[in-house]
Amino acid sequence: MADNPAFEAARQVHARHAEALLRWPNVVGVAVGYRRRGGELTDEPALVVMVDHKIGEAELDIDAILPKMIDGVAVDVQDMGGKFEADQADDGGGFTAGG
């Protein structure tokens, strides 16, 4: 991962945007990881935005829909199913939790 320029770009996007993303409704954490498609992990680096409960775009106000890309890095919204609890912290490795 350390030699992957796309993963490093995702880390930089995380550093710039994680705090703001944590202010969105329903967002409980932000991390750098790999995108999931159809439940399967891909090799595409992404900004993983963890939500308490995933809600379909059709049910959200337009201003409540998270962006699909930030600064050229994919955003992957993942449902934590209401099971995520953490104090606000940044582990230094690209994970930031909100509480």
Q: Assign domain 5-97 one CATH number from 3.90.550, 3.30.300, 3.40.50, 3.30.70.
A: 3.30.300
Cβ neighbour number for residue 3 with a 10 Å cutoff: 6
Q: CB of 67 within 8 A of CB of 75?
A: yes
- Residue 30: per-residue pLDDT: 95
Tokens 């890095």 belong to 73
* pLDDT for 92 beyond 60: no
pTM of the entire structure? 0.79
- β-pair partners for 74: 46, 69
Q: Helix/strand/coil (H, E, C) string of 64-85?
A: HCCCCEECCEEEEEEECCCCCC
Q: Which tens digits make up the pLDDT trace of 34-88?
A: 999 988 999 999 999 999 888 888 998 888 899 999 999 999 999 887 655 544 3
Tokens 């699909």 belong to 68
- β-pair partners for 37: 40
